[in-house]
Amino acid sequence: MPCAFAAGAMVTAAAIQGCVASLLPVTGGTLTGPLTLAAPAGNTVRNGSLTVGDSDFFRSSFQTRGPQVALFSRVGSATTDKAVVHSFYLVNHPGGAGHVIPNMLVETSVDSSPADGIWGFLSTLASNAAGGNGGATGHVAGYWQTVRTGVPIPHTTLAAPPQGSSVRVSDVSHFATGYTKGVGYPVSPEHPLAVTIGGGRHEVTGVRPDEKGAASGPGVLLLSRPLPPGEAGPGTPVRGDVVGANLWGGVIEYHEQVDLPSSRSGMGQTLELDWVGNNVDDANARTFVSAVLGKNAKDGADVEIGNVIGVWPGAHATAAGGASIKRGFWVGLPFSEAVIDTRKATQRSGANAIWLAEGHRIALDASGKHYLGAEGGVFTYRTDSGTGMSIAPSGDAGFGGSVAAQSFRVGADQVLGPRQTGWPLPIGTVARERLDADWHPEAGKGDRREEMAAVTDQLRAVTRTLAALITDLSRHGLIGP
């Protein structure tokens, strides 16, 4: 006779095992018929599988063979729904060996060369509905959230003068357990808690609350050494020198254990993000990767993070070698505005939109033959031929080739401008002679012919010098025909 369970009763593994044991001999046997549960009729245990539910609208299935080992499905929903599958793990043990304990573990091992693509995990979400709640809510295929709800930093004050290595405090909260050198072990001489009392550094090795077993309230802290005389007294603050646990919102690791170049080992990729769609983004409502930084508290200092994307050396690597990258950020698509856009950002004092290390450069063409850089504090533009320009911190500029410009100014005054035309080159003899700006003929002194000869010589010198000046300015390009 098959086992029967009351309608609505919770069916546990122990109940099923007891039922099967009552039907099968102790030495073993075969269950050839169904183990039928009370209504609904679809509740069965058959050939190694347990099915609860009579339709696809609510079904949970555990199987030992077949295309699906475990199946949870619910077709139909209500506003009171919480989760189809819920896994909860409360961690409350101290200490440990430092190994990883997951809430959920999914392991996949590929030991052959199948033509199938083997995926360790798949989450899909399909929607053909309009935006609900006026577009204020949305649907997410996968969501990871890590929340730091608090850091129980022990802090209190001395309630009485110190007595050697014992100090009475007003509250022992969080001093007995938590962030000790032993990674969370209860405080003890082997696992002390570092504290600051006034300005001195000490270690708490034991806690004695006035009320036995109490986790808070007045009590006594035992120190590893006595407080020096005069260092602290009633009202002196006592604070645990602790920090919160390291937290990650998510970690995705790709580990290449074979020692082969990529041409032999095959493609390896830590993360791939695909966005497939249609038409233009005329509302600026599409984002490939969105990084949002918010402030939890309304008041207080601005929240700040050190890096939006950080690339660091890992195992057996340093900033100088052991591991390297070819490109930090690569774009192989047309872009209509900018690859990096800081127009909506505020640059604070001392900040730089782009910061290069000494000797680093920015290429200005596909070949990298033309580039900008900084060498010894001097901003430079260079080409493979060595020509270019440089600007020193003093403002002095050097040019290795020609310069094309409309004008040059010193302050607000233009000192060089476009070429002035209409100047033919002089003919005849040119000479860069030294002129006497104060020369004039001395009338009435000497022969008239001598005076005329002197005037002629002076006029010839001025003419030849002016011709030389016009020639030089033409060669410089300031004037010309």
DSSP string, 359-413: T-EEE-STTS-EEEEEETTEEEEEETTS-EEEE-TTS-EEESS----S-EEETTE
Window from 150-154, 332-336, 468-472 with minimum mean pLDDT: 150-154
Residue ranges per domain, the chain? 13-74, 155-240, 357-404, 421-480
pLDDT of residue 57: 46
Which H helix or E strand runs over 462?
helix 448-476
- Position 2, amino acid: P
Report which of 371, 397, 366 is spatially closest to residue 384, judged by C-alpha positions. Answer: 371
Residue 455 sits at φ, ψ, to 5 deg, of -65, -40
**What span, in angstroms and rounded, lies between the C-alpha atoms of 479 and 481?**
7
pLDDT tens digits, one per residue of 225-256: 998 888 899 999 999 888 778 899 999 999 99
**What are the counts of helices (DSSP H) followed by strands (DSSP E) for the chain?**
3, 20
Q: Is residue 480 within 8 Å of 421, Cβ to Cβ?
A: yes
Q: Give the mean pLDDT of the chain.
A: 83
Per-residue pLDDT, 26: 46
- Residue ranges with strand state E in 20-62: 35-36, 44-46, 49-55, 58-62
Q: Distance between CA atoms of 331 and 339, rounded to whole angstroms?
A: 8
Q: What angle do CA 305, 308, 310 make, to 5 degrees?
A: 105
- What pTM was computed for the model? 0.67
Banded model confidence at residue 42, pLDDT cuts 50, 70, 90: low
Across 389-397, average pLDDT: 83
Q: Give CA–CA dist 353/338, Å, rounded.
A: 14
With left for phi above 0 and alpha for psi between -120 and 50, is residue 364 left, alpha or beta?
alpha
- Give dist(CA 449, CA 78) in Å, integer: 124
Strand partners for 51: 44, 61
Q: Which of 157-171, 236-250, 382-396 has the lowest mean pLDDT?
A: 382-396
Q: Looking at the domain that runs over 155-240, which CATH code has it been given?
A: 2.40.30
Provide the β-strand partners of residue 173. none
Distance between CA atoms of residues 266 and 275, nearest Å = 24
* Beta pairing partners, 135: none
